[in-house]
Structure 1
């Protein structure tokens, strides 16, 4: 991101330096201090970026301080071509320094590359896309106020938790027996605490979310106030024929009674249920292919949109 605006004291301001900083969800939950090594331009300490003794820097007479030569060549009557080239006398700097007055430390170079170590404080509750700014720490140049170094936080994907503002979401699989008869499980939170979740026997849990208050992310600047944790329970049903058919009646006696089947008046037709593979679609495409094998006349007059299953 370029920034060539003027600073408050009227000096031209240098460009800001933007750097991504990848952080884990644990870093954003607990806070973290890390050190970041960057390379930037700094003014020569011996000559303060002047390149030589005070007053030794003179405007280049060859290019009149512009750093470039402009040549105009006539191609035809009333048609000219303007060409621009870097001034060889000052190497495009617009200034020249006598050899005897040139700064000896870096052979007259006004700026040099230097490695800068920044101490970065990732505060609890910070979010993806948030910026950490180091004012005036960008590249230095003579007569220019340095810009800022801006670190852009990039949250890495977590294998257990998903963040939504100050709330956390996780998914936990349980069996049918656990859903009907109660359960207990333990998981490791982002601050390494072992959290025990209990659901009492006799209290049936349905597929969906439950909320644990105060176990979400800490709020930025208010770390003792936290969001909530939402646990989505994915109930796993047993496989087909998991129980002896003779035992089904005993199991049914223990479960809530079936709803009464209403009496249907008139003709009925019995159909067979088949398992549905969501990855292969509803089969509407196959039906359309079969229709396409018929004549064009039938195709244009009888075909409507394919029927799809509505599933929750």
Structure 2
């Protein structure tokens, strides 16, 4: 039995589905909920892509069946998720015209062209993800557009949003454009966290009231309390080196006669 069936449910297949059944389900749903066709279904498209990415990989699927989504997020079998748009392109091959475009065009620092659509990643801070933001974007036709996320609209890492009619001009329809598709990133690498001690001792409790409740642990007598300390890679290397040197000395003493035990 599998631990959970969420990914299977997203694709509308059974836990014993074959790879062909998974491909068929993904193809149908990805085309239906692609941001180009359904700009307001970015979250659904992301869920479909994540489910297929895991279940189409034998190692990730086995890990998911045993430990659920949490096991994937904790880093097993590669950990994390790829870009939903990249998964879509790899599955459908990008199309002949799209592949020719990629060969003929130079890479842009911000945008990637996919047909008439433009794709970009946007880094946001934690406060922006939770409390809203306004971000200016310089377009290819030298305009500046401002993307707005209103307070209360939570933007999660990997979320995909769409700006209508801000992509590339459509052939033979000069007044129509494709879409600008934005994938948001706020991994710890991109979140500007404050330094330790930035809050006075009485403030964390106030901040905690504004955030979702954390899971409390019921302590028992069998549990041991431990403390976290900063990790120093240089100190860790020295510790391993000294430990290996000690073991080498214990097992391979230089000179002298080894003691015998009776």
The TM-score bracket by the shorter chain reads: 0.3 to 0.5
Which TM-score applies when normalising by structure 2?
A: 0.44
Larger RCO, structures 1/2 (Cα 8 Å, 6+ apart): 1
Q: Which has the larger radius of gyration?
A: 1
Which TM-score applies when normalising by structure 1?
A: 0.38
The structure with the largest helix share of the pair is: 2
